[in-house]
Amino acid sequence: MRKKRIMVIGPTKCGKTTLVNALNDYEGPLRRTQDIIYGKNTIDVPGSYIENTWMYKHLIAVSQDASHVLILIDQSRCDNVYSPGFAKSFRCPVIGVITKVDLNVENEEICYKKLKQIGIAEPYYKISVPNKIGIEELKKYLFSSKVKGD
């Protein structure tokens, strides 16, 4: 049986790889993700997979190796890249994560609306990895939940 990992998806430059590194306890240099990368605990998916709807089938296929899917929304930009109801494409639990919560705080409500439109139920996790906001709470949920779900 293959190890189930946490799949992290979102638009380009929304903080996916930074979050993935935090979830894997990796502190090395950041590199642009050009292909799907299987880490110790995660599956890091390039932003192009969500920004091009014809690639959704690949996301759904890769999610078969996932214990959870994290869908990221960047509070500093609030890009509208997800189709309505997109979260319903996955068979495992889908968690909404708002990244860069220390930037553009006036966009918080917009982010909540987008997560609801995507089809993700609350609770939502608000994080800023560089400022260590919310990351421990998210890790605690994911890793305690992951143990229960396996």
Residue 6 banded pLDDT, cuts 50, 70, 90: very high
Average pLDDT across the chain, whole number: 90
Residue 131 in any domain: the answer is yes
8-state DSSP, 38: E
Q: Give me Rg for the CA atoms of the chain.
A: 14
In a domain, 102, yes or no: yes
Domain total of the chain? 1
pTM, two decimal places? 0.91
- C-alpha 82/C-alpha 117 separation (Å) is 9
Q: Is residue 149 in a domain?
A: no
Q: Is the pLDDT of residue 46 over 50?
A: yes
- The CATH number linked to 53 is 3.40.50.300
Characterize the bridge pairing of strands 125-126 and 94-99: parallel
